[in-house]
Structure 1
Amino acid sequence: MDRQKILFADDDPEIREVVRILLEGEGFAVIEAADGNEAIAKIDDTFALVILDIMMPGRTGISACVEIRRRYAIPILFLTAKGQDSDKMVGFSAGGDDYLVKPFSCAELAVRVKAMLRRYCVYGGQSGTAQAGQIQLPGLTLHTDCNEVRKNGEEILLTDLEYRILLLLAQNRKKIFSAQNLYESVWGEPYFYTCSNTVMVHIRNLRRKIEDDPQNPRYLKNVWGKGYRIE
């Protein structure tokens, strides 16, 4: 059985070696890159996951993430020494799926990687499906047999978390989901008050992709003081 490929970009060769040895020990194939430009040059659709250090010379992890997101919905994990909420929001806004602050434990990195790949394999289109069939919204179709979203016939490229949010809301139309409901259902982790910002950033990114006018959404509605729903 082929090993899942992970692209890891960090300008510190010692960190790259430690992470490579760790992930290869977990059964993954790791391809290294020394900066964002090299990561972009090496990325293709055979990779299951991308890990990006944020502060790299030449091209930062944030810039590399934006470029990768233009072509792929592969899950992206940021590694960074910056742990402020504002830094995390920048990463999520660029299209990142998760965030791990340095210094991190090897055990935590392995758990995060496996959790992201597990979510992606179920919801992101590589193996397995949420449920067979389609969910139809006016002008928008979720093909749940292949985890694909199309608007007026054209495919919309979503990250696995964006897809899971949309799928959950579309499967429960008119039901209001609070930020806590969404976070605990989609991320599968305990909710803390700072998580609301994470949810808001992903909702904003999702609206930007599926709405004609993100400021006046047709699909993803805000129910002020309560949460989000699809009419």
Structure 2
Amino acid sequence: MSNHALAERHRLAELLAAAGPDAPTLCAGWTTRDLAAHLVIRERRTDAAAGIRIGALAGWTHRVQSAYAERPYEELLKLFRSGPPLLSPFALPGADEAANTVEYFVHAEDVLRAGEDWTPQPVPPGRAEALWRRLPLLARLEAHRRSPVRLELRHPDGRSLTVGPAGSPTVRITGEPGELILFVYGRGDRTTLTVDGPEDAVEALRHALPLP
């Protein structure tokens, strides 16, 4: 059985190692060191990980992450490479694959595309299909609430899904599944997507979600 999360973990670790601890990322305000610390506490410090999503706990999460970021960079990468400890929720059967395939793909691209000169890495067909399967839910969670227009997210093979306010003008966004995932997560300005639709609708969308 394919383990896309494990493959993306290795890819992300290699990109972090190659970039070094002080490189920029697409995560606002974070260097690669900050990103590595985030990845470690997310699966090793459940007491702090909740603040990633819950605003009231964000201060504690920030303090714990900052403390981890002061550790040697190689130590952070070693912890991340080794995977979740036995008592981590991510160590439950299937949890890593379900929760981290997209997480690690997006963060790998956060490192890869942070510089001015970047070239997308090819995504294996099986992994691209796994990303496509996850796209409908993620689009509804991440893009639906932010987009002022109807979005048609279109695969190059013709498959598509639609999210966004009914009755609004439609903007079609076409590209590989990984590029569409990056768009719904707000990284659209660093993608190879094509965008089609009424000019005013595209402009309204651009103010809500970055576009190429």
Q: Structure 1-normalised TM-score?
A: 0.24
Flag the structure with higher helix content: 2
Flag the structure with higher strand content: 1
Q: Structure 2-normalised TM-score?
A: 0.26
Which protein has greater RCO, CA pairs closer than 8 Å, 6+ apart? 2
